[in-house]
Amino acid sequence: MNTRTKSLWLPALATLFGASVTLLLLQRTGVQPRLIWLGSAAMLFYWPWLAALPIFGAFGAYASQRAHAPVKARLAAALSPALVLFVTLCLILPWALAVDGFSALRLGYFALTVLNWVAIPGVALLLGATPFLRSRRTTQA
């Protein structure tokens, strides 16, 4: 197994898998999201999921650190759930604009969705990953 796989892809996949399965289990067990209305738009918050995300961010950064990854790879491994959601939303946006037409309201909803599903979970993941983002100093005896 090459270094990039050990230090980036496996920790990133483990972080993504853990966050996704946790959200799935919360939805299957009937945990209802909290709705917060911002004018005519609503934001959904799964508070237990957001509370669990720092654990997954810490795990991804720790596993990447154990594989001697640089700080950027640790950060990418920890933030992988938010990054995957962001890429997915960016792939959906052009299709949605082509099908439904361009509208400032649609872009506003897109920005709200990015805030709700990328920025806020990204902050939670970063909160857990922060202790593992410092570069290791090796001491020589």
Residue 141 belongs to some domain of the structure: no
CB 75 within 8 A of CB 133: yes
Q: Note whether residue 42 is domain-resident.
A: yes
Helix or strand holding residue 37 (H, E): strand 34-38
Does 67 fall in a domain?
yes
Asked if residue 136 is part of any domain, the answer here is no
pLDDT tens-digit map of 66-100? 999 999 999 999 999 999 999 999 999 888 888 87
Counting as low any pLDDT under 70, the low residues of the chain are 136-141
Task: Please give the C-alpha separations between residue 90 and each of 7, 37, 76, 106, in angstroms, as whole numbers.
Answer: 26, 24, 18, 13
Is residue 137 a part of any domain in this protein? no
Number of folded domains that form the chain: 1
Cα-flanking dihedrals φ and ψ of residue 45, to 5°? -125, 120
36 occurs within a structural domain:
yes
Mean pLDDT of the chain: 91
What domain range is 91 assigned to?
3-131
Closest CA to 10 of 60, 70, 58: 60
Q: What are phi and psi of 137, to 5 degrees?
A: -105, 120
CA–CA dist 75, 59 (Å, integer): 11
